Amino acid sequence: EKLVLATHNAGKVAEIGAMLAPMGIHVVSAGELNLPEPDETETTFVGNALLKAHAAAKVTNLPCLADDSGLCVNALNGDPGVYSARWAGPGKDFAMAMQTVHDKLGAGDDRSAYFICVLALVYPDGSEYVFEGRVNGTLVWPARGVGGFGYDPMFAPDGETRTFGEMTPAEKKNYSHRAIAFAALVDAL
């Protein structure tokens, strides 16, 4: 069995790869295959996850798993949401993106936020499956830790004082939106 991870994000490849490893599935990433990166033109996580998985399935003729995810801040009406990657700019500067979130939040009391992950699995025959995971938490400042990726250093999941950035990969997996979505996938298939 061969599965394409339709993502160019190394953090996602590491996390999903670790989840798939015990299952004996041969995983190849979009980066390794030099797949083009489609424009994420949809306005929802589900839409963009399906768009990425279908684009990869079309060119590889293999089952493809895509991940669309992001940080949603309640006091910012769900921003950055599907624009989470884009807030970091072309240089993928997440220190800047976290600073932007912090600045927009200002002195407001509501620091609640959540991560969403939508996994879309698309087969070459066009059949598709969609799974979603969510983790609620609190935004901390200054950001702490060097683990994980993206907005991890400013996000502490409910029930924890440490941020995702301060956790090992195995600890983050106990809480993460991605692990929850992946568990739903395993349950269904």
**Mind telling me the catalytic residues?**
68
Does residue 36 have a cis peptide bond before it, meaning omega lies within 30 degrees of 0?
no
Please say which residue, 7 or 156, places its beta carbon nearer to ligand ITT: 7
The answer to whether 8 contacts ligand ITT (rule: CB under 6 A) is: yes
Q: Which stretches does DSSP call E strand in 45-107?
A: 64-73
Q: Which amino acid is at 15?
A: E
In whole angstroms, what separates CA 64 from the centre of its chain?
16
DSSP 3-state of 28:
strand
Which of 20, 50, 65, 69 forms a contact with ligand ITT (CB under 6 A)? 69
Which of 79, 132, 152, 166 forms a contact with ligand ITT (CB under 6 A)? 152
Q: Which stretches does DSSP call E strand in the chain?
A: 2-5, 26-29, 64-73, 112-122, 128-139, 155-157
Query: Contact region for ligand ITT (CB under 6 A) — 16-24, 61-69, 99-107, 181-189?
Result: 61-69
* Residue 21 contacts residue 80 (beta carbons within 8 Å): no
The answer to whether 102 contacts ligand ITT (rule: CB under 6 A) is: no
Please say which residue, 44 or 127, places its beta carbon nearer to ligand ITT: 44
The answer to whether 115 contacts ligand ITT (rule: CB under 6 A) is: yes
Which of 68, 79, 132, 166 forms a contact with ligand ITT (CB under 6 A)? 68
Q: Report, in Å, the least distance between residue 40 CB and ligand ITT.
A: 6
